[in-house]
Amino acid sequence: MGARHTAFGEQARRWAEAGRPGPHGLLLRSPTLEEAEQWIASRPRGAPAPTEETRAFVVESRRAATRRRTILTGALATGLLVALILAGFAFWQRSVAVAQEQLAKEQRDGAAAQEQIAKAQRDRALLNVSRFLTTRAEQTLAGGDPELAALAARAALPSTAAAASSPTRTAGSPKCMSAVTA
């Protein structure tokens, strides 16, 4: 017991000589702080009482330890709060992304449906032009102009190669239409 009293007293003396510096430096930390507090609290009879300087040293060490623990707890709580906020933000961003993905799929499906409608309308229009040119060719032939009738009949036929590359170069192209409708 005397060795502890001497060790704690010596540390308290150095602390006092250094001008009682704050939490950074000579103060006790765990587990030595708990040993010093236990030594003061359970001093056996006949053992020398700790000096006022030693008591102040241990009390200040406890204040510094409590301050460190409070700061650490606050930092951990702040970190947890920031992590929760970021997790909430990430969850919200994910729900926005999922909603936008669903909207994009719906728009893609709508565009595909519109494309099919447009192709069907184009095909019907080309068929109507072919029918018109066929009728015109028959009328022209009946009118006694076989060359013009042949041009109209040819214009009524879709060009397979041209249809594959450009749907506007099929039956009813402007060149043939002008010759037939003139």
Domain co-membership, 175 together with 116: yes
Enclosing domain of residue 119: 102-181
pLDDT given at position 180: 53
Domain co-membership, 47 together with 6: yes
- pTM value > 0.85: no
Three-state SS at 5? helix
SS (H, E, C) 53-122: HHHHHHHHHHHHHHHHHHHHHHHHHHHHHHHHHHHHHHHHHHHHHHHHHHHHHHHHHHHHHHHHHHHHHH
Residue 88 included in any domain: no
Domain co-membership, 114 together with 60: no
Residue 109 included in any domain: yes
Q: Which two tokens stand for residue 65?
A: 């330890």
pLDDT given at position 9: 83
Domain co-membership, 52 together with 108: no
Domain co-membership, 154 together with 120: yes
Residue 90 included in any domain: no
Residue 41 included in any domain: yes
**Pairwise CA distance, residues 62 & 40, whole Å:** 13
Domain co-membership, 59 together with 117: no
Model confidence pLDDT, tens digit, residues 10-47: 888 888 888 877 766 788 888 988 988 888 888 777 77
Residue 97 included in any domain: no
pLDDT beneath 70, residues of the chain = 1-2, 4-5, 23-24, 159-182
